[in-house]
Chains A and B, each alone.
Chain A
Amino acid sequence: MSGIIAQNTLGGSGLIKSPEGGGVWNFIKKLTASASSDLSFVNGTDDVVLDSTYKTYFFTFKNIHASAQANFQVNFSEDTGSNYNVTKTTIYFFASHNEAGDSTSLSYQASYDLAQGTGAQPLGLSFSSDNDAGGAGYMHLFDPSNTTFVKQFISTAGGFTDGDYYNTNNVSGYCNTTSAVDAVQFSMSTGNIDAGDICLYGVSS
């Protein structure tokens, strides 16, 4: 590419020429928690797009602060949020290290994976409610509107527990359905998301 417009690619203002072949990340929605029982992204509601517009969706988690120590978790809906109970098979492993420096772990967490389960999938274990504690991470959701294949998701999230253990949590799995996934809900296993925000982006293809 050449010329003024092309030179402005990745600029934060003015006109840009969209790259051939896509790859543009598009901000869709930001949900900010305030003692919230959940943060839910429902296609077609409140400007949320979660359909065939994009092949890949990306969620970011920032400063997820729990009202009480609890697991940060996700679930999916195929009926625009009426029920968050899509069948999932997942894996979960984490690396752990405490501030005291006397405990480490790299382990599969069999208690937190799902095998054709419909319950919420933990993305981060035991997020602390300490004043300065805020978990962070991201989750990819691939082709949620596909009606031929299952829907894969991949997440990495960091957070620390009340005992000052830090966990790097790694989750992946698939929604075992050929129905479109059209809503995603984040919550804590107990209590509320006291503060923090979750953003949704779509990656044009």
Chain B
Amino acid sequence: MSGIISQNVGRTSGLVKAAAAGGGAWTLIETITASSDSTIEFDSGIDSTYPIYLFKIINLHVSSNNTKPQVNFRDGSTAYDATKTTTHYSCSHNEADNQTWLQYETGGDLAESTGDQAFFYQNVSNVDDAASSGELFLFSPSSTTFVKHFIGRLAVVANPVASGQGYIGGYCNTTAAIDGVQFKMNSGNIDAGTFKMYGLGDS
């Protein structure tokens, strides 16, 4: 690139020129706002345009107490049921300051399973001011050669009331393209929350 505008790329004032296909900057693709929804689905816009997709979960408020935020992936059909092997661990510290943990969640991981992956296996709270926020990276979803990795973390208000964080990592064990991502609760609805999908270009 050349010229005054392109030379200004990376600056914090004035005009910059957005490079083709996002030019490496995170490009906001879609925002979905939850309102008592059973599922939040990004069912388009996941393709070879970007090699990395990032999902931001902001203030996810659940309708039912003691429930688990979950994610799943679509690999070509209409169902969100890609086969996955994952790890899941979590940590927590309660408001009463008498309980902490860091542990592997043996009940919350998956081994070649098509089921939903819990973000926080130990359950979240539905008290009025409770909400969860976090992120999920999805790598090379359109690759038809390799499995598809994902890495995520979600900060939650746990039940009983505590600060908690769930960490997930794993792969969709398929060489089919992943073309959809679904968020849901294991029970009840996603009462409120904002879900954003970004793409990160590499050229």
Contact = CB atoms under 8 A, between A and B. Distances in A.
Interface stretch (B120-128, B138-146, B154-162): B138-146
A20 B175 contact: no
Interface stretch (B8-16, B34-42, B177-185, B186-194): B8-16
B43 interface: no
A24 B25 contact: yes
Interface string A95-132: 11111111011100000000000000000000000011
A15 B173 contact: no
Contacts of B168: 168
Interface stretch (A33-41, A74-82, A135-143, A181-189): A135-143
A95 B25 contact: no
A132 B89 contact: no
In this complex, the member of A14, A25, A62, A136 whose beta carbon has the largest number of chain B beta carbons within 10 angstroms is A136
A27 B203 contact: yes
Interface stretch (A144-152, A172-180, A196-204): A196-204
B79 interface: no
A65 B143 CA distance: 13
A54 B24 CA distance: 15
A76 B39 CA distance: 44
Interface in B51-73: 51-52
Nearest to A197: B202
Contacts of A205: 12
B103 interface: yes
Given A10-B26, A20-B12, A202-B10, A132 B145 contact: yes
B169 A132 contact: no
Nearest to B137: A138
B112 to A, nearest CB: 5
A153 interface: no
A62 B140 contact: yes
Nearest to B198: A10
B109 A21 contact: no
A60 B145 contact: no
Nearest to A32: B202
B147 interface: yes
B90 to A, nearest CB: 10
B85 A5 contact: no
Interface in B78-109: 85-89, 102-104, 106, 109
Interface of B: 5, 8-28, 51-52, 85-89, 102-104, 106, 109, 111-112, 137, 139-140, 143, 145-147, 149-151, 167-171, 173, 175, 200-203
Interface of A: 5, 8, 10-22, 24-28, 30, 53-54, 60, 62-63, 65, 95-102, 104-106, 131-138, 156, 158-160, 164, 166-168, 197, 199, 201-202, 204-205
29 contacts: A10-B25, A14-B18, A15-B5, A15-B15, A15-B16, A15-B17, A15-B18, A18-B11, A20-B13, A21-B12, A25-B200, A27-B24, A30-B202, A62-B52, A63-B145, A95-B89, A96-B87, A99-B173, A104-B109, A132-B175, A134-B140, A134-B146, A134-B149, A137-B139, A166-B85, A166-B170, A202-B10, A204-B11, A204-B12
